Amino acid sequence: MLPEHSPYTSEQRAALENAISGFTPEQRAWLSGFLAQAGGSAVPAEPAAGGRMTVLYGSESGNSEELADRTAKEARRRGFKVVLKSMADVAPGNLVEAENLLVIVSTWGDGEPPESAESFYHSLMEEEHAFGGVNFSVCALGDTSYEKFCQTGKDVDERLEALGAKRLAARKDCDVDYEDAWTEWVMDVLGAVDPGSVMVSAAEMADAGQEVFGKKNPFPANLLNCQPINGQLSKKETIHVEYSLDGSGLVYQPGDALGVVARNAPDVIGAVLSAARLRGDETIETKVSGRKLLADALRDDFDITALSRNVLGKLQIATGSSELEKLLADDAKEKFHDYVFGREIVDAIEDFAPNGLSADVLAGLFRKLPPRLYSIASSPLAHPGEVHLTVAVVRYETHGRKRKGVCSSYMADLVKPGEDSKVFVVPNKNFHLPEDPGAPIIMVGPGTGIAPFRSFIEHRAEMGHPGKNWLIMGDQYFQQDFLYQLEWQEYLKSGVLTKLDTAFSRDQPEKVYVQHRMLQNGKKLFEWLEQGAYFYVCGDALRMASDVHDALISVIRENGGMSREEAETYVEGLKAAKRYKRDVY
């Protein structure tokens, strides 16, 4: 029953009680979370003196955007007047009048800004802007397994200060387990802007960000199917994975990603325990789960494979190894890279801790096991209550030891149909289908890069969208690696797929890749672009994405009669119009 003093009339109370009378506790909790997210349940404070604030984000996988949204909500709750902006939608010059500027930005690849933030980042770094009247602080997201950890955030922080902005609070560098660090940063910054604003505890802020099912509370999804989709003679191992989302409340759009929370494999755990000369039945204290057996923590809680400077630094302190100290020296970067390449934490323990480690010291080396994100390969309309993935299973051998991808091998080896895996949806607003159902789309996706394009084609087929669809896909061998071949052929036959070009690199003496098919079809590709086509790329960022980008510029030059500079300007125009979209990793 709603209390008499609740802010509703007697008729409204009766209507609400009647509406929710049959709801389960889970349904009531979901509704409560929905209403809180939609409008917030807290009454905002009076606007703080000097409380205008801009929250700016640059996001690749959605984490920075999510934190920016939560930061803005918390600031509004405390009475600040807040504007939330994406780096994709603003230029640095638009921010010189910002009173208080809070920046949340991620780093990806080799210390690079997010795809959607490139233009903003380069303008900020290369042009002069007058930020003398701006107060700022930066929250940088990154991954300590990469050498250039949080590099974009560091660059933005230094550049804003160089342009005259005044730092409100020190930059916070966040690893993949960023919740506590972000919370601390928000409290520091908002308190610095106005110490008299309404304060809450870090625990209350964390509670406010809780979801029924989401990243902080993954859904136990039942595995419906996991099957190999390469031929038996293929040199690759690709699996098609299907999960049930029934009862989760999770929704997704084509182009979004699925986060999967893996477990470490028994043989990998055993090797780490053996190297550390431990049994696994020792008890340790964990941040999330409290006290538990070491073996269980190694299975569920820790990243026990990724070798980084941070891990080696902790190991050096624990062991006092002079050899490791030399390897970590500033003048030994080349030797450091040579050592880390192809090795994992177990190798470092064997090399630098020959007498083993205590359970607590071993656990202290590790960071939290991060979830892995995979492009969704299904349309929710074509497969109601399900989500599909296309996963390349990683297995290789280096330095005399067999290795495997943590999450890909988890899905391939450790989870059986009927068992559950923890999952959550990660929206990718920068990689959705055009709002115009009649807009043509060109999709370039070698290997498992075709995953989101399967979802695109399925969705357009279900919606009856009239727009033309062109897929350029590639892999190694036609006979072994033509992923979803029958599906593409059916879509060609029905007319949903307008054009299909394939590049099987090893079916002929000279290797042929997707960028070569683009160049061979340059006239048609340029015609589609001139007709308003959207150009999508998904797959490897290291080589493929840059090769495709160069091919696109060449196509525009040759078929548009442009100089290289003019072609590059044309491509920048596609990006600005959000018609050139990349999901690369």
Q: Give residue 6's pLDDT.
A: 44
Neighbours of 334 (CB within 10 A): 8
Q: CA dist 510 to 68, 230, 268, 483, 504, Å?
A: 48, 22, 39, 22, 10
CA distance 418 to 412: 14
Can you give the pTM of this predicted structure?
A: 0.83
If we measure between CA atoms, which residue out of 63, 138, 153, 66 comes closest to residue 107?
153
Residue 492, token pair as written in the block? 């060609």
Q: What is the mean pLDDT of each run of 10 residues along the chain (585 residues)?
A: 46 53 44 41 39 91 90 90 93 93 91 89 94 95 88 96 95 91 93 70 57 89 98 97 96 97 98 98 89 96 95 97 95 93 97 97 95 97 98 97 97 97 94 97 98 98 98 97 98 98 96 97 98 97 93 98 97 94 91
- For the chain, what percentages of helix, strand and coil (3-state, to nearest 5) are there? 40, 20, 35
The DSSP bridge pattern shows strands 283-286 and 135-141 to be: unpaired
Contacts 24+ apart (CB under 8 A), 514-517: 514/444, 514/445, 514/446, 514/472, 514/473, 514/474, 514/544, 514/548, 515/544, 515/547, 515/548, 515/550, 515/551, 516/551, 517/472, 517/474
Closest CA relative to residue 349, chosen from 379, 315, 322, 380: 315
pLDDT at 94: 93
Cβ atoms within 10 Å, residue 380:
21
SS3 545: helix
| 150 contacts 117 by C-beta, under 8 angstroms | no
Q: What confidence score (pLDDT) does residue 24 get?
A: 44
How far is CA 201 from each of CA 93, 176, 206, 289, 361, rounded to the nearest angstrom? 35, 22, 9, 21, 31
Residue 413 is given by DSSP the state I
d(CA 504, CA 446): 9
- Look at residue 101 and give its three-state secondary structure: strand
Work out the angle between the directed axes of helices 485-494 and 451-463 (0-180°, nearest 10): 30
Nearest to 378 by CA among 268, 256, 285: 256
Provide the pairing of β-strand 372-375 with 257-261: antiparallel
For residue 330 the two structure tokens come to 């500033």
Beta bridge partners of 401: 398
Which pairing describes strands 420-426 and 441-446: parallel, antiparallel, or unpaired?
unpaired
- pLDDT at residue number 429: 87
